[in-house]
Amino acid sequence: MIEQLFAKLESAYPEMVDIRRYLHQHPELSFHEHKTTAYIAAFYEELGVDIRTNVGGNGIVATIKGAHPGETVALRADFDALQIHEDNDLPYKSTVPGVMHACGHDGHTATLLVLGKVLHEMRDSLHGNVVLIHQHAEELTPGGAKPMIEDGCLDGVDVIFGTHLWATAPTGTIQYRVGPFMAAADRFELTIKGAGGHGAQPHKCKDSILVASQLVTNLQQIVSRHVNPIDAAVLSIGSFVSDNAFNVIADQAALKGTVRTFKESVRQTIAEDIERIIKGVTLASDVDYDYTFHRGYPPVVNHEQEMQFVVDTAKSVAEVTTVEEIDPEMGAEDFAYYLENVKGAFFFTGAKAPETEYAYPHHHPKFDFDENAMLIAAKVLGKATCEYLKNEKTVSEKVTK
């Protein structure tokens, strides 16, 4: 069955590339993916696959029912793009000004569509069901995963697998981590409200820029002095805005930042410490402030047995040259919500072309990836699905047999 699966995937690889390039040319932002959802729905409808549309918003869930009884495996791919103007000179570059697929979600969708098509063709051999989750809005909190789960996309699902094409890791590499894999991502917004005036008369003003600058420095002490060095955490200020003339002391200054953590206790401590420091600095400077802390995605935590099952599966795929456990990634993913609800595993599929010396990172205007990685991802996910469904043994039994 696996040989047949691989042969069909290899035969359908050109279609996979065509789909990816079409989606790359027609990107849509999070929560606005209406044409993309119509494209995905039409693909499955032509095959005769059962689908649900508008799941949790713009999500689509396709279900392939095997001819034999068994468990249910879910596979997930996201399909939203980013508000970035593409700076690549490619025949399939984005046709939408200011919007591009700069994170590989076009590749994720193409991979899952073709894998779904192949599994549908092989449904008479399947023991159990496959749920294909096409998720909207991964890039923008509150994200698409949570509302899709609330709308039932995981109902009846026993296990879920997912991958992210990773353009900075060589093609042929599978990267993973058991346990905490990707960080929780929170953000905060702060506006300092001082009293502006002439730059030559600072004694008559309350300098919001000076106060904000002190906070940029003081907030860095949270991670370096308040968090256990054993625990990973990041606090970064990404935006500092105060638009005034050169000789005017600003009455307001705005900061925006991000916090990345793995432990809930550390996450809560940092949120509390930020506000405590803001209160102290603004009180000492006699200025007011507005502050909001937004809790984002929780950490991605892989289940041990399911992750090991995928690792063993990947090692048996010929095109996979390296399977390596890596350090936790401080980036975030709302795949975390799926893993909070069912067992499963999430991993990276290397997508840096062998001849490429430098790969532009995700979310870069020149981002691109090696399309051969899509076939590898499809084979790993496809084989993991079929192996999991081939009998009703638990993953623990499968891993240890």
Q: In whole angstroms, give the CA distance from residue 2 to residue 331.
A: 33
Q: Which residues have a Cβ under 8 Å from the Cβ of 229 and sit 6 or more positions away?
A: none
Does 203 show up as a binding residue in the annotation? Answer: no
Does 105 show up as a binding residue in the annotation? Answer: yes
- Domain 184-294 annotated CATH 3.30.70.360: yes
pTM here?
0.93
Is 243 one of the annotated active-site residues of the chain? Answer: no
pLDDT tens track, the chain, 401 positions: 999 999 999 999 999 999 999 999 999 999 999 999 999 999 999 999 999 999 999 999 999 999 999 999 999 999 999 999 999 999 999 999 999 999 999 999 999 999 999 999 999 999 999 999 999 999 999 999 999 999 999 999 999 999 999 999 999 999 999 999 999 999 999 999 999 999 999 999 999 999 999 999 999 999 999 999 999 999 999 999 998 889 999 999 999 999 999 999 999 999 999 999 999 999 999 999 999 999 999 999 999 999 999 999 999 999 999 999 999 999 999 999 999 999 999 999 999 988 888 999 999 999 999 999 999 999 999 999 999 998 555 454 555 44
As a whole number of Å, the end-to-end CA separation of the chain is 20
Bridge partner residues of 195 (DSSP): 206
Does 32 show up as a binding residue in the annotation? Answer: no
pLDDT the model gives residue 283: 98
71, 78, 86, 138: the active-site residue: 138
Q: In whole angstroms, give the CA distance from residue 40 to residue 22.
A: 12
- CATH number at 2-181+299-400: 3.40.630.10
Rounded (10°) CA dihedral 124, 64, 109, 176: -80
The Cβ of residue 68 has, within 10 Å, a number of other Cβ atoms equal to: 14
pLDDT the model gives residue 357: 85
Domain boundaries, the chain: 2-181+299-400, 184-294
Tokens encoding 263 = 């432990």
Q: What is the DSSP string of 79-133?
A: --BBS-------TT--SSTT-B--SSHHHHHHHHHHHHHHHHHTGGG-EEEEEEE
Q: In whole angstroms, give the CA distance from residue 157 to residue 60.
A: 16
28, 71, 80, 370: the active-site residue: 80
Is 45 one of the annotated active-site residues of the chain? Answer: no
